[in-house]
Amino acid sequence: MSKKKIASARIGIESSDLLKELNNSLPFDKTLYLEDIKGSLAHASMLANKGIISGDDFKKINLGLNEILEEITSGSWDIEEDQQEDIHMAIEYRLTQKIGDAGKRLHTARSRNDQVALDFRLYVQKETKEITALLSNLMKSLLEIASKHTETLLPGMTHLQHAQPINFGYHIMAYASMFKRDFERFLSSYERNNLSPLGCAALAGTPHPIDRDMTASALGFDAPTLNCLDTVSDRDFALEILFNIATMMMHISRLSEELILWSSSEFGWIKLSDRHATGSSIMPQKKNPDIPELLRGKTGRANGNLISLLTVMKGLPLAYNKDMQEDKEGVFDSVKTAKLSLSILEEMLAQMTIKKAAMERACKVGHLSATDLADYLVKKLGIPFRDAYHIVGNTVNLAEEQGVDISELSLEALQSIESNIEEDVLGILDNRACMNARRSKGGTATIRTKEQIEALKSWLENLR
Ligand code: ARG
C-alpha cells in the first residue's frame, strides 16, 4: 500500500505505477538530505523571525527536523520507507507525521522549485570545496616530485617523437600548471554561484513578508539571487561543475596516457607500485596499469554527463520543468568520479618509481641537440638559419650512418661537414647543456624549472 501523497490536491485517483517509477527521484536525490534539512531550518527560522509562523511552531519544526537528521544518520529511518516522490516530500511528510500542523506550515512562502534549486546548489558548492582541497593535495605531490627531478633529463616530444631535451621536473610542472587552472576554475564557479535561491518560491517570489538576505547569510551565501524567474530555471551552477570536472578529467587522462606509455617496456621510465598494478587472468607475467587506464576511461563519463545536462536544458521554456529532475544523477556521478580519480592519482604518483637512468638513456636517441647545433652555426659562424638547418641535416645523416647520436660525433666528424666548427661545439651538443641553455622565462633550464616550482608553491601557500 502506498502512503498518502502530500502534493496532489487535484488528483483523485491513485497514480499509475509506471508514472511513479518514472517520476520517483528519491533513490538518487536522497543524497541531498542534509542540504534539504539545513535549507528548511534556515527557512523556518526566518519565517518565525518575520512573524509568518509562530515561535512555537518553529520550535517544533526545529526539533522535528533535527530528529529526522539523527534518524537518517543513524539509519533508524529509511528515507524511502514512506514512498514519497522525492527527498523534499519525504522529509516534509516525516516531519508532519511527527509534529502535525506545525510541519504543514514549513512550506509557507516556499516551493519545491526554489527548494530543489537551493539544495542542489548547496551540494554543488560543498563538493566544489572538497574537489579543490583534493586538487591542492595533488599539486603538492606534483611539486614534491618536480623538486626532486629538476636535473633528470628526458626527451621532450612533439608528435610523440623525440624533440628536445628537458628535465622531468619541468614535464611534471606542465601538469601542475593545468591543475592550477582547474583549481582556479572551480574557485571562480564557487564565487560566481554563491547566491541563495531560497525565497524565489515557484517562479515569481511570494506575497509573504520574507527576508531573503537573512536566509542567504544563514546558509553561507554572499547574497540572494537577483531574479526569481531565472533562479528557479537556472542550472548553470551544475553545468559549471560538470564542465570543470570534464576539463580536469581531460588533464588527468592526458597524464594517465603518459603514465601508461612510460610504464611500458618500450619506455621503462617509471614503475608503478605493486599496490597500484593489477595482474592478468591468463598471462602470469603481467602487471597492468589499470589505474591510469580507468582514469583515462572515466573521462568519457565526465564528458557524457556534461553533454547530457546541456542537452536537457537547451530547449526548456521558463521556468521550472520536470526535465530538470534529470540534472542530478550526472552531477553526482561526475563528483564521485572526480574525487576518486584525484585521490588515487595522488597516491599512485607519490608511490611510483621514477627510472632516471632510463629517461637519460632515452636522450641518446633522436639527435635531441640538433636545434642547438643549428643555433651554434647561426650565432658563432654567422651562417643564415636556413643554411644551418641543412648543414645540421647532413650532420644527422652522418651520425645515422655511424650509428650514433649527434651528441656523440667526434669533432673531426663535425668538421668534415662544416670546417669552421670549433671545439666549443662539444659543450653545446651535450644534452644537459641543451636543457640548461633554454633559460628564457618559462623554459626548461633547471634554474627556470626551480622558479616555476617556487612560484606554484607560494601560490598554494597564499591560498586563503
Ligand atoms: N524532484 C524535483 C526535482 O528534482 C523537485 C522539484 C519539483 N518541482 C515541481 N514543480 N514538480 O527537480
Q: Each residue of 241-270: b (16+ CB within 10 Å) or e? A: bbbbbbbbbebbbebbebbbebbeeebebb
- Per-residue confidence band for 185, with pLDDT thresholds at 50, 70 and 90: very high
CB distance 324 to 235 below 8 Å: yes
- Per-residue confidence band for 3, with pLDDT thresholds at 50, 70 and 90: low
Looking at residue 158, the DSSP 8-state letter turns out to be E
Residue with the smallest CA separation from ligand 1 atom 3 is 325
pLDDT at residue 278, as a whole number: 84
Q: What does the alpha-carbon distance between residue 125 and residue 128 come to, in Å, rounded to a whole number?
A: 5
Mean per-residue pLDDT over the chain, rounded: 96
The per-residue pLDDT for range 254-300, each reduced to its tens digit, is 999 999 999 999 999 999 998 988 887 878 787 899 999 999 999 99
Indicate whether 421 pLDDT > 90.
yes
Q: Could you confirm whether 159 is annotated as catalytic?
A: yes
Residue 278, SS3? strand
Q: How remote is the CA of residue 313 from the centroid of ligand 1, in Å?
A: 15
Q: How remote is the CA of residue 331 from the centroid of ligand 1, in Å?
A: 16
Nearest atom, ligand 1, residue 29 CA = 4
Residue of 423, 426, 448 whose CA lies nearest to 435: 448
Number of Cβ atoms within 10 Å of the Cβ of 192: 11
Indicate whether 433 pLDDT > 90.
yes
Indicate whether 5 pLDDT > 80.
no
pLDDT at residue 215, as a whole number: 98
29 lines ligand 1 (CB under 6 A): yes
119 lines ligand 1 (CB under 6 A): no
Catalytic residue among 2, 264, 280, 410: 280
Task: Assess whether the previous peptide bond of 319 is cis (omega < 30° from 0).
Answer: yes
The per-residue pLDDT for range 108-163, each reduced to its tens digit, is 999 999 999 999 999 999 999 999 999 999 999 999 999 999 999 999 999 999 99
**Location of C-alpha cell 600548471:** 177
pLDDT at residue 12, as a whole number: 84
pTM (two decimals) = 0.95
Q: What does the alpha-carbon distance between residue 170 and residue 152 come to, in Å, rounded to a whole number?
A: 9
The per-residue pLDDT for range 339-392, each reduced to its tens digit, is 999 999 999 999 999 999 999 999 999 999 999 999 999 999 999 999 999 999
Pocket test for ligand 1, best of 325, 328, 331, 332 (most atoms within 8 A of CB): 325
Kindly state the average pLDDT of the residues 77-102: 97
Q: How remote is the CA of residue 408 from the centroid of ligand 1, in Å?
A: 71
Q: What does the alpha-carbon distance between residue 408 and residue 423 come to, in Å, rounded to a whole number?
A: 13
Sign of the CA dihedral 262, 266, 268, 271?
A: positive
Residue of 187, 138, 123, 173 whose CA lies nearest to 464: 187
Strand 161-167 with 195-196, pairing:
unpaired
123 lines ligand 1 (CB under 6 A): no
* 91 contacts: CB under 8 Å, gap ≥ 6: 33, 36, 37, 40, 65, 68, 79
Nearest atom, ligand 1, residue 120 CA = 4
pLDDT at residue 378, as a whole number: 96
Q: What does the alpha-carbon distance between residue 233 and residue 253 come to, in Å, rounded to a whole number?
A: 33
Residue of 188, 183, 198, 51 whose CA lies nearest to 122: 198
Q: Could you confirm whether 280 is annotated as catalytic?
A: yes
Catalytic residue among 76, 159, 281, 440: 159
**Location of C-alpha cell 537577483:** 226
Range in 8-12, 141-145, 228-232, 318-322 with the lowest mean pLDDT: 8-12
pLDDT at residue 385, as a whole number: 95
pLDDT at residue 6, as a whole number: 67
- Per-residue confidence band for 1, with pLDDT thresholds at 50, 70 and 90: very low
Residue with the smallest CA separation from ligand 1 atom 10 is 113
Residue of 237, 270, 5 whose CA lies nearest to 116: 237
Q: How remote is the CA of residue 118 from the centroid of ligand 1, in Å?
A: 12
- The C-alpha torsion from 57 through 221 and 36 to 190, rounded to 10°, is 180
Looking at residue 407, the DSSP 8-state letter turns out to be G
Q: What does the alpha-carbon distance between residue 231 and residue 117 come to, in Å, rounded to a whole number?
A: 8
- Per-residue confidence band for 52, with pLDDT thresholds at 50, 70 and 90: very high
Q: Please calculate the CA angle 50-56-58 and round it to the nearest 5 degrees.
A: 60
Indicate whether 7 pLDDT > 80.
no
Q: What does the alpha-carbon distance between residue 143 and residue 352 come to, in Å, rounded to a whole number?
A: 15
pLDDT at residue 4, as a whole number: 63
**Percentage of the residues of the chain whose pLDDT score is greater than 70:** 98
Residue with the smallest CA separation from ligand 1 atom 7 is 112
Residue with the smallest CA separation from ligand 1 atom 11 is 322
Q: What does the alpha-carbon distance between residue 331 and residue 236 come to, in Å, rounded to a whole number?
A: 12
Beta-bridge partner residues of 278: 288
